[in-house]
A = this chain, B = another copy of it.
Amino acid sequence: MKNLLINYISEHIELNEDEKNAIDLLNIFHSFKKGEILLKEGQISNKGYFVLKGCVRSYYIIDGEEKTTNFYTETEGITPHCVINNKPSEYYLNCVEDTIILISNADMEAEMFEKFPKFESLCRILSEKLLTKKQIDLDKFKISSPEQRYKNLLKNRPDLIQRIPQHQLASFLGIKPQSLSRIKARILKNDER
């Protein structure tokens, strides 16, 4: 897992041996079983997450119904809203699969940034990239029909189709499970022609 993380970081900034060792010394790798909950509605947390292996789902419970908003897989970061706005969380995070996660908090980051300013550059670069990705996600969701949303998913995150139960995928796409079945049948029929 350490190598996976260092390879990922090295795509964005160059690390020297001291910096690699500093990462190694942090006790930040944590394993969770499928179904374990990382964050609950109403909870206040100061923890940020970075998925190294597995999948984490974010969802709200509204009128007793789960509304899935996102899936975070390998090399995706999660900073829950409650960490930034210091209010109780409005949503849940749970593990869809057995998952290995890096967990950090603001104190740990401040210490690392002071010792190794390069890590602050890394966090800036990653945040800017993620911000753009998130804006694209929001734009595409707004401007696409349900069928286009499913096609975008097929194109951009095909792994999710295999990994995630249908009803959670449908919720993530903002549609009913029956609509997702109809869309899939329609696409299959058009492909066969």
Contacts and interface: CB of A to CB of B under 8 A. Distances in A.
A163 interface: no
Contacts of A137: 138
B69 A132 contact: no
A173 B82 CA distance: 25
Nearest to A173: B142
B131 A67 contact: no
Q: Is the interface of A mostly helix, strand, loop or mixed?
A: helix
Chain A interface residue count: which class? 35 or more
A31 interface: no
Question: Could you say how many copies of this chain the assembly holds?
Answer: 2
B142 A67 contact: yes
Contacts of A120: 120-121, 124
A145 B131 CA distance: 25
Nearest to A123: B124
Interface in A118-169: 120-121, 123-124, 127-132, 134-139, 141-143
A25 interface: no
A7 interface: no
Contacts of A47: none
